[in-house]
A and B are shown apart, each in its own frame.
Chain A
Amino acid sequence: MSFLSPLFLAGAIAAAVPIVLHLLNRHTEQRVPFAAVALLKGAPVEHTSRRRLRELLLLAMRVAALVLLALAFARPFLKASSAAGDRLTVIAIDTSLSMSAPATVARARRLAADAVHAAPAGADVGLVRFADRAEVIIQPTSDRGAASAALERVAPGFGSTKYAAGLATAAELFAGRSGTIVVVTDLQAGGWDAGDQAAVPESVRVDVRDVGPAPENLAVEALRADGDRVIASVRNTSERARSVRTRLTVDGHPAGDTTIMIDAHGSAEATLPRVPSAGVAVATIDDPGGIPGDNIRYALLGKDSTTSALVVTTTGDLDKDAWYVRHALITPRGTAASLVGRWNDEDLRDFGSIVVLSTRGLERPGREQLAKYVNRGGGLLIAAGPDVDGEVIADVLGSGAPIEIKGPNGDPERVAAQQPQTLAPADVRHPIFKAFGAEVASLGLVQFRAVARVTGPSCQAIARFTSGDPAVLDCAAGNGHAIVIASDLNDRWNDFPIHASFVPFVDQAVRYLSGTASRGSEYLVSEVPAEVPPIPGVATVKTGSGTRRVVVNVDPRESQVDRMSPEEFQASIAHLQGGAAQKANADTNEQENRQHLWQYLLAAMILAVAVEGVVAARMA
């Protein structure tokens, strides 16, 4: 039995009060020297004994009433436990794409089977598989054979690695029990996203079984159209340079092939010229020993093709208003702020993200369109420069992400006279800065002459200026995100565009925002809407005006071989144990609410008080 509020048990100490009073009364019974004691000796002694019994019964009832009251307030409940005992071992096996190399799959099954057999005698065993989502394969059971048989059926899929999802699902199986979560994984570093939270109860140990590094692998990481050409980016994760033959088909018809040489741990682009301007392009490579799922990539050519970003400026002329951003992005499209309201929903859905460089002329319809875009899961990159009005941005993001942007409040001369500031990432694990790796320090070379002050309760500062003010903020808004940089991106308040870090920063920001959005025509396996199966390929989805084709690709991060140590993995979990305690508390609350044992205890206490009253009345 456990208690929801065990501190109330201290109230049971009050039960000592009637006991002490009883003992004191017993010791202070009066002694009377008496002459006629002989006349008392024939008195019915059993009356005295009966009275003693009644006194003891009274004492017992009083003590019981107090103890029952304390127990009732402590809110007891019976812990749910399986027949096999209170201990549990849950094996969480990583079935992400990176685990799909043939040798890796076999190793993972063997390690998982070892964990099943090594589970303590009498302990139940559960089985969870996870990639970007987690699924319970075997509920906790004492049947080790069933768990072993289920392991044989476990096969990796095409999903991304999300450790938090796997640990959360595994932790839910414990329901107040103690034990071990055995995580069988390749320890891919990208499995922890910034902001992930895993709820692991404190009584649960996490044991990591490393399947080892991924084998040599070749992966098609990107496929895009560039005029009449199609460019495929291919990464080589092996220790040696490799020659790769890339073949392209469009709508199932061969559209050419090319062979490129890729250095060790490098990437290269395979360009396939003079391909049809529309259709589904599929680039494939041969890599028999590597991860099979990343040897193919899909893209829509022509009008179905996804444009990377829509850039909102004052005039819509990117060469004039956003020359640096225009060249930092692949095929961006520009629009004037005053014209945003004319875009329809479907058109905007084609963009992975929208870069807002100006709000001049952004009227109510345009603001509502942007707000709708974000609420549906779109991503906004907002440069809080001189052309951006903080009130308009606050209006766009709405109450879901209340934000306040205050400009430097000065004329250009005064702005120029301000002391330059630099920025430093506050969260190097954030996807925008993660891609910089060791080069993240290069962001510190940027000189910011003027900055805006940006604050918002739902915003997380992922980089700060040397003054301590937020420089880059990640704001959750509706189902989408907004990345706000507290300066401009056009060489007016800073020299950011002329630094080498500008292009990767803008590119990563747009990629990050695109990743959070359900783009109109291209999805990652982990982001597909409900009507699209989570496997790479081509699918058809319904739209308001009919149907359209979309392509689904694997997450290119799964092809990266960056790994973490088991210690780093454990360290990430340790930060999340407070949440697990809350979850455990919620579970115990639910159990206690179901059982309502306190009501029975309270009834028993009332009964004890009633009996005490009756006995006391007889003795009076």
Chain B
Amino acid sequence: MATARDRQFLDPAVVARLGTLELKARTVVEGFISGLHRSPFKGFSVEFAEYRQYIHGDDLSTIDWKVYARSDRHFVKKFEEETNVHCHLLVDVSASMSYGSRGISKFEYAACLAASLGYLMNRQRDAVGLTAFSDRIVDALPSSTRPGHLRNVLIALDRLEVGSRTNVAKPLHQIADAMTKRGMVVLISDLLDDPEAVIRGLKHFQYRGSDVLVFQILDPDELDFPFDRATRFEDLETGDEVMAVPAAVREHYLKQIGGLIDRYRRELGAAGIDYQLLETSEPLEMALLSYLSTRSRTA
């Protein structure tokens, strides 16, 4: 049964079937912002700029009632986007991201998410940068607020293809070393790698003065392990095969994946790094909320 949240937000699988990444991002973000105006998060994403006399047609929710109490006149709050936050989107394009079971792969989900975040950042006049990596950096665009930069980002995202093996820590260190400005780093990955190395890499960004937001993207199959027949599992990155009877290994697997998630959540939280686990079946808007939360702290 669909939940209220499901009804409110778009199904990622539906979003994935839309045309270009730009269209997907716009659909997600505009819908998200539209929903945000009706939500408790209103005014959460932008900064206050000035008051303006209320005119017919203005949203009543923007009326500042305190000013009205003081002046007995209706003023609405006018918000202004910040422009001084540099955001880096780090997108994992390793082969493991190609797995998908609900009509959308982790990579497609990650690309949509990155595009949506980029769109939202651009809308808030934040500088947006993009780095794609697997066991190495595959593509990189420095952060910028230039007109048309968002389009470059979206084109770069559109052209990305899943690569080879995962080595999250190495590119993270490279990127952290190359960063010249403090800002905000958003990592989008399934994090199926050595957690210790990954966390160490993320802490490197903190060391360089940036806030870090981590989205761990996992497919529902990877969280629930719903297989029932004897199955030969083939590693997407290494090609290794493991023949297993799901009923026999399910408990062990769920314990392993649960332990991995818990460790990321625990250790990243302890390090002050925002961590958000996302299933590919979850609406992208949930990720945008996490982003805005982190950004508000950064700004």
Contact = CB atoms under 8 A, between A and B. Distances in A.
Most chain B CB within 10 A, of A36, A39, A40, A44, is at A36
B10 interface: no
Main SS of the interface on chain A? mixed
B248 A34 contact: no
B236 to A, nearest CB: 5
A29 interface: yes
Interface string B237-273: 1101111110011001100110010000000000000
B242 A44 contact: no
B232 interface: yes
B248 A32 contact: no
Given A40-B242, A43-B244, A47-B249, A31 B99 contact: no
B156 interface: no
B248 A44 contact: yes
Nearest to A31: B232
B222 A43 contact: no
B234 interface: yes
Chain B interface residue bracket vs A: 20 to 34
B20 interface: no
A51 B245 contact: yes
B37 to A, nearest CB: 38
B227 A39 contact: no
Given A35-B96, A35-B99, A43 B234 contact: no
A37 interface: yes
B44 to A, nearest CB: 34
A37 B229 contact: no
A51 B192 CA distance: 29
A48 interface: yes
A37 B192 CA distance: 10
Given A35-B192, A35-B236, A37-B240, A44 B231 contact: no
B96 A48 contact: no
Given A43-B244, A47-B245, A51-B245, A34 B233 contact: yes
Given A41-B242, A47-B248, A48-B249, A35 B106 contact: yes
Contacts of B257: 36, 39
A31 B233 CA distance: 6
B243 A48 contact: yes
B241 to A, nearest CB: 8
B235 interface: yes
Contact of B231 (A32, A47, A51): A32
B222 A36 contact: yes
A381 to B, nearest CB: 89
B229 to A, nearest CB: 6
Contacts of B235: 33-35, 37-38
A42 interface: yes
B190 interface: yes
Interface string A1-41: 00000000000000000000000000001111111111111
Contacts of A40: 233, 242, 244, 249, 252-253
B230 interface: yes
A43 B97 CA distance: 23
A50 to B, nearest CB: 8
A37 B219 CA distance: 14
Contacts of B252: 40, 42-44
A37 B240 CA distance: 8
Interface in B81-106: 96-99, 106
21 contacts: A29-B243, A30-B230, A30-B232, A32-B227, A32-B232, A33-B236, A34-B99, A34-B221, A36-B96, A37-B233, A40-B244, A40-B249, A40-B252, A40-B253, A41-B242, A42-B252, A43-B249, A43-B252, A43-B253, A44-B252, A48-B249
User: Lowest 4 CB-CB distances: which A-B pairs, in order?
Assistant: A47-B248, A43-B249, A35-B96, A37-B235
